[in-house]
Amino acid sequence: MTTSEAITGSAQPTPYRLSALSDGVFAIAMTLLVLTIEIPSAEVVSRGNISHLLFALWPRFLSFVISFVVLGVYWEGHHGQFHFIRRADQILIWLNMMFLMLISAVPFSAALLSRYGIQRTVVLFYGAHLVLVGAMQLAMWSHATGSAQLVHAELTPAEIRKETWRVVTAPSIYVAAMLLSLVSTVMSIALFATAPLIYILPGLLHRHTRRKKSPKAPHATAT
């Protein structure tokens, strides 16, 4: 940063600063999710069996797990994008801010789902929220790889398309889950729960296959 930029404040935050801010917001949002699981009061426990009360909390545990994993997938995608982004402009900064605003609100949507998840309106609200998160992530990537050219020059069109499809996949599944809620909210929530597996399992299978194909170290021979 030059002296004049420091005085006028015209220098833009680096992608590293945006990524660091985003990591902090993700960490807070993922931590706040546990607050959707309320501990039964002593008065309620005294009137019932604690094991039954804990079992009755399973919808809230389910909402916590689904939302935590979904945030993990979005964090991984955000981290992957910023691995390629080399510069930041004003548009990217505020697209990222809008993305983080939606991320920070996920605990609210998760709390609604944990309490009223059987209601179609709540399932639709939850799904629409996740779709908006994905749409904002796509907007950031499209801007960075478009005319703004904020990514490094070595990034190929094929790599850009691959990342674009990766970003689009989750919101597409969430739209399908929203439509499925018109038939069954239980099936819709099940689709929300299984959607992250398309991001998690390929990485695990790839590592497993790579370990199987890696040459074994030769056995030491006695001299």
| Angle value at C-alpha 120, between 169 and 139, nearest 5 degrees | 30
Report whether 100 contacts 21 (CB < 8 A): yes
State which residues form the domain around 179: 11-199
Q: Which region, left, alpha or beta, applies to residue 9 given φ > 0 means left and ψ of -120 to 50 means alpha?
A: left
CA-to-CA distance for 163 and 141, rounded, in angstroms? 8
pLDDT value of position 46: 66
Question: Would residue 147 count as lying in a domain?
Answer: yes
List, run by run, the mean pLDDT of 10-residue segments along the chain (223 residues).
44 83 96 86 66 80 94 94 92 96 97 91 96 96 90 89 92 95 94 90 53 49 40
pLDDT value of position 127: 96
pLDDT value of position 6: 45
pLDDT value of position 144: 94
Question: Would residue 3 count as lying in a domain?
Answer: no
CA-to-CA distance for 163 and 158, rounded, in angstroms? 9
pLDDT value of position 41: 67
CA-to-CA distance for 177 and 181, rounded, in angstroms? 6
pLDDT value of position 4: 42
pLDDT value of position 13: 73
**Model pTM?**
0.81
* Helix, strand, coil shares, percent, the chain, to 5: 75, 0, 25
Instruction: Tell me the two tokens of residue 32.
Output: 């706040």
Q: How many domains does the chain have?
A: 1
pLDDT value of position 52: 75
